[in-house]
Structure 1
Amino acid sequence: MKASASPPERRRGRRMKVTIVGVVVAITATLSGATTSVGSPSGEAGAVPLTKVLPQPAEVRTTAGVAFDLESDDAVHATGGSGDAKAAADFLAGLLRKPTGYALPVRSLAAGAEPDGIVMALGGNNSVTQAEGYQLDVTSRSVTVRADDRAGLFNGIETLRQLLPVKVERQQRMPGPWRIQGGRITDAPRYGYRGAMLDVGRHFLPKTDVEKYIDTIARYKINYLHLHLVDDQGWRIEIKEWPELAKIGGSTGTGGLLGGFYTQEDYRNIVQYAWARGVTVIPEIEGPDHMHSALASYAKLTCDGKALEPYTGWGKSPDGGLCLDNPTTYEFLDEVIGEIAALTPGPYIHVGGDEAAGRSQAEMDGYFEKVAKLVEKHGKKVFGWQEAAGSLPAKSVTEFWVPGNNEDRIIASAKAGGKVVMAPAMHTYLDQKYTDSYPEYPLGQTWAGPTSVQSSYDWKPEEQIAGLPATSIAGVEAPLWTETVFGINQAENLAFPRLLSIAEIGWAKASSHDWNTFKPRLAAQGPRLRESRVNYYLSPEVPWPLGS
């Protein structure tokens, strides 16, 4: 049916909006992930189709012939009395003010009010009740994001951001129009955990670089930043009771390069910056191995009372294991975990556990029993690598990264109520090269790769460990190790676009998984990443548009 034109409609006497009354066309994202539909606005004044969003929403309904134009006298309204709604409105207004040049004041929304402009509504008439879910409605008069929790509002904002023109990512004033296609998106994640791990232990990344990384992961609904703060080559967080950890342990890095550490104020700022964008920081303090930086900082932590020389090698230190029979080890861990827990509002502390092949099972069990009690003493939940599964309390979270290692204990832990985050190295480790062709892609490693963009997408979390209950999978994570990474530009080039594959797997329904329909949505992100000054890799696998 062809839509008929209605008389021009005005909003509070201002210039015309796009108001051709149209047909509502339902597009269910779980069917095929198609990026076009009957009635989509491909020829309608340049509005971005609702079906171009990444990660793919659960359901999209396009209202043909209808669009919303953001105008200079619009405001962003937030549910009255809600700090979370106000925070979301402030964040969105802050994103939009520079490129539009509009004032976009944030105003309190009275109960029952239906204002023109943009609305952040917490609770109320929301059809999506799942945690982190949201409903986005676009009419000719308003754009409304409804959610039942803070995370849902922020997820709705990131979807809305992709529906605005690419120029919205500019940090300077740009001409309009600022048009959004009419319709409704109802959306919620497949998994509650969608993580990105950043290793700052091997090579230090300054606070501003970590914040830039947070900016990019947040826009694709990654909700956890796992910050690997400690490794053999570097200790990256100030501990007041143990100041030499930062002074000595933080002085160098792999190859003797890129040392540094975060003051506690730096770390607080990172945590707050992430939280303001819907991302929760999980700090990792390694153990019982990968602790050479601590053993080089304090002689009393070693078994023989002699401090080690700082380690700058490229692999794991052969001398980086904690002395498990030394009572000082656990006094040290108690104070370190206590200080970090006090700085971290998120629920988890990651306690490591990987590559401890020289340890007996009894040693692993004894160590993690003590460490877990310390984490719980300081009010946090325990998270560890897969080698720690079975040694940690029954309902802990463990992270799978390599097949064939401790899988029986992972399954047993899951059946006892534990959860598993899937990060299979051959698909999710972002430090692996895209290709082994040289010199096209010299950056990165190949021990679990190379990993193409398609390989980062074409895997299923539920198929990684035979016999693991699918209900025990908490989500997915994309780790980026930095032995061969020197700065944020190289980190971004390895991470993007592959991290977007992991974001899609973590969010979108399993039934929508299709490389051929994912590719064009991924390609549409190229110009947005470019405008955001993200140094992503122009993989030949992806049909990037002009401006990428």
Structure 2
Amino acid sequence: MSLPLIPAPTTASTDDGTFAVTDALGVSYPPELATIAVHFADDLEADSGITLTPGAIGITLELGRDGLDDVAPAAGLRADGREADADERYGLEVTTDGIRIWGPTPEAVHRGLTSLRQLITANTADGTATLPTARVLDGPRFSWRGLSLDVVRTFHAPPVVRRVIDMCSLYKLNVLHLHLTDDQGWRVEVPSRPALTEIGAAGATDDRPGGFYSQAELAELVAYAAERFVTVVPEIDMPGHTSAVFEAYPELAPTETRTVELGNGTTLHLNTLEPGRPEIWTFVEDVLDAVIPQFPHSAYVHIGGDEAWGMSDEDHAAFVDLAAGLVRTRGKRVVGWQEIARAAITSDDVVQYWLEPRQDDSLDGEAASMVPADLLPILIEHFAKAEQDIPRALRHGSRLLLSPTSRLYFDAPHAKASSDPAQEELRKRVGLPFYPPTSIESGVDWDPVEYTPGIDSDAQVAGVEAAIWCETITTSAELEFMLLPRLAGAAEKAWSQTRTNWPDYATRLAHHSPTWQARTWNYFKSTEVNWP
């Protein structure tokens, strides 16, 4: 019998007994696990409607390692930098007498409780969850399991971000990478540079309303995520994608600007921060000094580094070197999109892989017709250079954060029809037409190491991270429609140490829609899955 868990656990066995979970049960725990137990009870009620009774028994939480040394430790790097003392391996046991969850750390117990939430919700009917007796020993394949969320092209207010954090937590993702700055807007406060939020945050894509997170709002989001063992990593994109900076501070813009008309009434600015100007570095330091303290749990700062079109290779490398050095002197580690490998990065830096080999093949035929003539040669040149990024990163000893576009970019259109005809108009409208549509099956029918050119070992990988960009996404409902059920598949690839079998996965996935409905999360009802 396959348990309806996503990600799939390392080992799981069941037998013929059952145990009933009702409102009459409670959770017993040592003092170190009190906060986790309270969050579990709240989440379980939201997921399933079952309200546990404080002080009652039935679910026991323990700190311990019983049998967990048989589960391989995670490979990769943690966004909070806690490689030495973190351990997410857990055990879950359901007997006819009750439920026991254990692990060596509070985080591990939280992961076990997350699996229990999934089991209970999948088996709930009329206020009672009848669980099969089972034993699960589990742990993650990779330490960094994330989602990159674009809050620039569409500004997503704090309540929306909290819903995304809840989704991440449900699927054992432990990183929310916030893409906070881009051409279309600036979303984080820098008190010494007030025009960044007064002017740079005013808009978004296609005249959508802008916005930014105040320091108080970010503190609440970061704390909310940390309580769910999710680390929020900030991205300040540079030296490209800086039009919002130049709007706020024109004196930082290049003296000679270059633009490309996209043919839909919008203009692409091919302008970058120039490394040879001292005032640029005063600005970068102001930003880092303001942003870094707002993300105290993150060991990393994402410096972008991608798509610095119109910039010479020498200037780009010089900028990345200097920016990375400023991050390191402030006690943080560097992560950047794969183009940073063209600079003198170090083995401590993380390179985020997104441009797949022969990506320029996607510029043939119909896709090429969508690209303005002036932009097409720039893209072709950029994709050609990208083929050397991963070999360079590996020569530097850097580890890769895997975000291949064809598998983990959730702004691609959905490929299959929806079983709900009311969703078909939305499916055809939302998603970048430049990307080939992707199916739910294609999101799990791959292996991160086997799929990435030039690597042959988990030891070369920092982790796995999906990305959602919001050029075509205008509302929280559309955001969730593109995230679910894809996010569960990304989590399966980042966590599970076993290969995914599609029919089994589709069966497990179907059991998760009651949770999404209870949470009022909008999700794509793909015809690939027999939803209940």
Counterpart for residue 145 of structure 1: 101
| Contact preservation (8 Å) 1:68, 1:139 | no
The 1-side partners of 2:44 and 2:524 are apart by 27
Does residue 432 (structure 1) correspond to residue 412 (structure 2)? The answer is: yes
Q: Which has the higher helix share?
A: 2
Counterpart for residue 523 of structure 1: 510
The 2-side partners of 1:411 and 1:395 are apart by 16
Letter in 2 for 1:537: F
2:144 to 183, 193, 200: 193
| Contact preservation (8 Å) 2:272, 2:311 | no
Counterpart for residue 381 of structure 1: 333
| Contact preservation (8 Å) 1:255, 1:314 | no
Does residue 255 (structure 1) correspond to residue 194 (structure 2)? The answer is: no
Counterpart for residue 399 of structure 1: 352
The 1-side partners of 2:104 and 2:396 are apart by 30
The 1-side partners of 2:212 and 2:328 are apart by 26
The 2-side partners of 1:86 and 1:410 are apart by 44
The 1-side partners of 2:112 and 2:476 are apart by 28
Letter in 1 for 2:54: L
Deviation per CA, 1:275-299: give whole Å up to 9, x if none: 1112111111001100110111113
Letter in 2 for 1:480: I
Does residue 135 (structure 1) correspond to residue 91 (structure 2)? The answer is: yes
The 1-side partners of 2:45 and 2:510 are apart by 26
SS where residue 285 of structure 1 aligns?
strand
Counterpart for residue 479 of structure 1: 467
1:348-427 matches, within 5 Å, as 348-391=300-343, 392-404=345-357, 405-427=385-407
2:112 to 151, 156, 173: 156
The 2-side partners of 1:542 and 1:124 are apart by 37
The 1-side partners of 2:267 and 2:416 are apart by 24
Deviation per CA, 1:158-178: give whole Å up to 9, x if none: 10001113597xxxxx96324
The 2-side partners of 1:126 and 1:498 are apart by 32
Runs of 4+ in 1 over 4 A off after TM superposition: 313-316, 436-440
CA 259–71 in structure 1, closer or farther in 2 if over 3 Å, else same? closer
The 2-side partners of 1:216 and 1:451 are apart by 21
CA 316–51 in structure 1, closer or farther in 2 if over 3 Å, else same? farther
The 1-side partners of 2:491 and 2:267 are apart by 29
Deviation per CA, 1:349-394: give whole Å up to 9, x if none: 1110111243233222211111112112222111100111242323
- Structure 1 residue ranges without an equivalent (≥5): 1-35, 37-49, 107-115, 169-173
Does residue 121 (structure 1) correspond to residue 62 (structure 2)? The answer is: yes
The 2-side partners of 1:315 and 1:480 are apart by 21
1:181 to 114, 132, 139: 132
CA 219–257 in structure 1, closer or farther in 2 if over 3 Å, else same? same
Does residue 238 (structure 1) correspond to residue 238 (structure 2)? The answer is: no
Q: Quote the offset at 1:202 in angstroms.
A: 0.9
The 1-side partners of 2:20 and 2:271 are apart by 59
The 2-side partners of 1:525 and 1:186 are apart by 21
Deviation per CA, 1:112-138: give whole Å up to 9, x if none: xxxx42222223545247331111122
TM-score by length of structure 2 reads 0.83
The 1-side partners of 2:255 and 2:511 are apart by 58
| Contact preservation (8 Å) 2:401, 2:463 | yes
| Contact preservation (8 Å) 1:254, 1:314 | no
TM-score by length of structure 1 reads 0.81
1:213 to 164, 168, 180: 164
Does residue 459 (structure 1) correspond to residue 446 (structure 2)? The answer is: yes
The 1-side partners of 2:180 and 2:265 are apart by 17
| Contact preservation (8 Å) 2:90, 2:101 | yes
Deviation per CA, 1:496-546: give whole Å up to 9, x if none: 111211111111124x3221221111122122212221110111111212x
CA 367–390 in structure 1, closer or farther in 2 if over 3 Å, else same? same
The 2-side partners of 1:319 and 1:127 are apart by 52
Give me the CA root mean square deviation. 2.6
Q: Quote the offset at 1:211 in angstroms.
A: 0.5
Letter in 1 for 2:120: L
Letter in 1 for 2:415: T
Q: Quote the offset at 1:232 in angstroms.
A: 0.2
- Structure 2 residue ranges without an equivalent (≥5): 74-86, 358-384, 418-423
Aligned residues: 475
Counterpart for residue 378 of structure 2: none
| Contact preservation (8 Å) 2:400, 2:460 | yes
Tell me which structure has the larger Cα radius of gyration. 1
The 1-side partners of 2:443 and 2:287 are apart by 35
Letter in 2 for 1:363: D
The 1-side partners of 2:59 and 2:269 are apart by 57
1:284 to 235, 238, 249: 235
Letter in 2 for 1:383: V
Q: Quote the offset at 1:181 in angstroms.
A: 2.6
Higher alpha-carbon deviation: 141-150 or 92-101: 92-101
